[in-house]
Amino acid sequence: MYKVKIIKNFSSAHNLRGYEGNCENLHGHNWRVEAALKGDKLDNVGMLVDFRVLKRALNAILDDLDHKYLNEHEAFKVINPTSENIAKYIFDTLGKTFPNMVDSVTIWESDDACATYTES
């Protein structure tokens, strides 16, 4: 099995509904996103996926989240925009471009705290 991973960043604000503590208040993060694809077959060039294609797909997803108030985003109007839920949202959305190839998505909300969503 081959795995490839790219790392991107975006900035946005959120607050956590129903959380008793600081995070209930509006605040921002510089999120770091690690997106990994997997597969057992390479193309005739020897690539699992062209990094440019993967970057373009992830950029399109992150452009939609960057400099936004995540609680107003369609994906987080009901569920909280926690690192866990953002990871699953990006995992699912990336999966529309790369069916059955998304290995994991990790969201760092600070230098020492991250959440990963995976189905394997």
Residues in contact with Zn ion by CB under 5 A are: 23
- The nearest distance, CB 109 to Zn ion, in angstroms, is 6
Active-site choice (34, 73, 84, 109): 109
Active site residue 67: yes
Q: Does residue 109 carry a catalytic annotation?
A: yes
Catalytic residue among 23, 73, 84, 114: 23
**What phi, psi does 65 have (nearest 5°)?**
-105, -20
**Selected catalytic residue, list 27, 67, 72, 119:** 67
Amino acid identity, residue 105?
A: V
Cα–Cα distance measured from residue 108 to residue 64, given in angstroms and rounded to the nearest whole number: 18
- How near is the Cβ of 91 to Zn ion at its closest, in Å? 19
Name the β-bridge partners of 7: 34
Task: Give catalytic status of residue 14 as yes or no.
Answer: no
| Those residues with Cβ within 8 angstroms of residue 53's Cβ, 6 or more apart along the chain or in another chain | none
